[in-house]
């Protein structure tokens, strides 16, 4: 996919017609883009494992629905921490981003935002995330703080390891632990299985995302799973997705899910299978579409688990 800037400094993978470009003051736009507000798929993918975990906890606790307050906090926290993580990543990668066509129009490599201003913006977003985290019990707070380790090291992994998506997965899947810890103040087998499944899911969808940049990554020497798997990328994504579906199924079983929950897992697995079968080598535009479709895959799974909780809680 071409990464040529479209207009007003927007990179080519920005969502067309987003409110950031239509309504936000011009001086705010580079910062909103730095936080990826114009690309909501990022916070959706960070949020969904939190909601899955909340739904699993509701099933185990025989509650009719995931805790609404927790779900709202996870939403706010996902937006804030996705923005903070993206800002941190762009600060660390600004020299590499300048070498990749798709990313060279981001606010830092293009000069729209100065590094010291980006660092201050990062602190503000992190404080919002901390304020959200402090609303939970002590065990959930500790679990949440531990997520900072993979977040901190991820930007540097693409320089030294062939599968940096695994480290990204450790961070983006972390919500699978949070929903359970917020309810039970501990981590049990279903939460750990869900985390492992979400980790495989992240590796799979971020490998699809990396297909966009294979040519530029080869030139810049940036490592990625798409480069590692090469012509076998479809098989690799399919394997990651199959493991994700199996592990999520085991998590649902361990939490005591019923038929509706299993149907949700089956629909989730079917969506992932469609993605893997539809993937084409070095088809950047198609890869971006498939990557973005993971929001729908995640919502399908959440709907199945939440409905199962509702039916079991009311029975």
Question: Tens of pLDDT along 182-194?
Answer: 999 999 999 999 9
Q: Where do we find the tokens 């697995």? A: 269
Distances in Å between the Cα of 225 and the Cα atoms of 184, 238, 279 are 36, 13, 14
User: Measuring CA to CA, which residue among 196, 211, 235, 13 is closest to residue 103?
Assistant: 13
Structural domain includes residue 68: yes
pLDDT value at residue 7 = 46
Structural domain includes residue 5: no
8 A C-beta contact, residue 126 and residue 151:
no
Structural domain includes residue 11: no
**What confidence category does residue 48 fall into, taking pLDDT thresholds of 50, 70 and 90?**
very high
The pTM for the full model equals 0.88
Structural domain includes residue 3: no
Structural domain includes residue 14: no
**What confidence category does residue 133 fall into, taking pLDDT thresholds of 50, 70 and 90?**
very high
Quote the CA–CA distance of 289 and 103 in Å, as a whole number.
17
Other C-beta atoms closer than 10 Å to the C-beta of 257 total 25
Return the CATH number at 231.
1.10.357.140
pLDDT of residue 272 exceeding 70: yes
pLDDT of residue 257 exceeding 90: yes
Question: Residue 174, SS3?
Answer: coil
**What confidence category does residue 222 fall into, taking pLDDT thresholds of 50, 70 and 90?**
low
Domain that holds residue 105: 19-314
* Overall number of domains in the chain: 1
More confidently predicted of 112 and 158: 112
Quote the CA–CA distance of 19 and 167 in Å, as a whole number.
32
pLDDT of residue 12 exceeding 60: no
Structural domain includes residue 8: no
Other C-beta atoms closer than 10 Å to the C-beta of 52 total 32
Quote the CA–CA distance of 223 and 228 in Å, as a whole number.
8
Listed as own residue / partner, the contacts of 162-167 with beta carbons closer than 8 Å and 24 or more positions apart are: 162/223, 162/225, 162/227, 162/228, 163/203, 163/223, 163/225, 163/228, 164/223, 164/224, 164/225, 165/202, 165/203, 165/206, 165/207, 165/210, 165/224, 165/225, 166/199, 166/203
Residue pLDDT, tens place only, 78-115 = 999 999 998 998 888 787 777 777 777 888 888 888 99
Structural domain includes residue 135: yes
Strands, DSSP E only, in the chain?
A: none
8 A C-beta contact, residue 145 and residue 181:
no
Residue 196 dihedral angles phi and psi, to the nearest 5°: -65, -40
Q: Where do we find the tokens 């660390």? A: 92
């Amino acid at each position: 996919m071409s990464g040529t800037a479209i207009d007003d400094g927007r990179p080519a993978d920005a969502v067309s017609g987003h409110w950031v470009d239509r309504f936000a003051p011009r001086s705010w736009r580079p910062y909103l883009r730095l936080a990826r507000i114009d690309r909501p798929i990022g916070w959706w993918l960070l949020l969904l494992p939190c909601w899955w975990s909340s739904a699993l906890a509701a099933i185990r606790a025989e509650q009719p629905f995931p805790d609404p307050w927790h779900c709202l906090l996870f939403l706010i926290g996902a937006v804030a921490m996705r923005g903070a993580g993206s800002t941190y990543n762009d600060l660390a990668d600004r020299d590499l981003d300048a070498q990749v066509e798709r990313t060279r129009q981001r606010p830092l490599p293009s000069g729209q935002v100065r590094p010291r201003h980006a660092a201050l913006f990062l602190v503000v977003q992190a404080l919002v995330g901390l304020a959200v985290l402090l609303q939970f019990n002590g065990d959930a707070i500790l679990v949440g703080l531990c997520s900072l380790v993979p977040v901190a090291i991820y930007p540097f992994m693409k320089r030294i390891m062939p599968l940096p998506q695994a480290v990204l997965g450790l961070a983006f899947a972390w919500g699978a632990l949070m929903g359970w810890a917020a309810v039970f103040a501990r981590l049990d087998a279903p939460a750990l299985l869900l985390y492992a499944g979400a980790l495989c899911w992240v590796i799979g969808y971020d490998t699809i995302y990396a297909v966009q940049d294979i040519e530029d990554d080869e030139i810049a020497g940036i490592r990625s799973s798409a480069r590692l798997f090469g012509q076998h990328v479809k098989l690799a994504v399919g394997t990651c997705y199959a493991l994700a579906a199996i592990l999520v199924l085991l998590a649902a079983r361990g939490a005591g899910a019923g038929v509706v929950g299993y149907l949700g897992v089956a629909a989730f697995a079917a969506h992932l299978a469609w993605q893997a079968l539809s993937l084409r080598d070095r088809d950047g535009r198609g890869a971006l579409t498939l990557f973005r479709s993971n929001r729908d895959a995640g919502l399908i799974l959440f709907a199945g688990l939440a409905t199962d909780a509702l039916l079991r809680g009311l029975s």
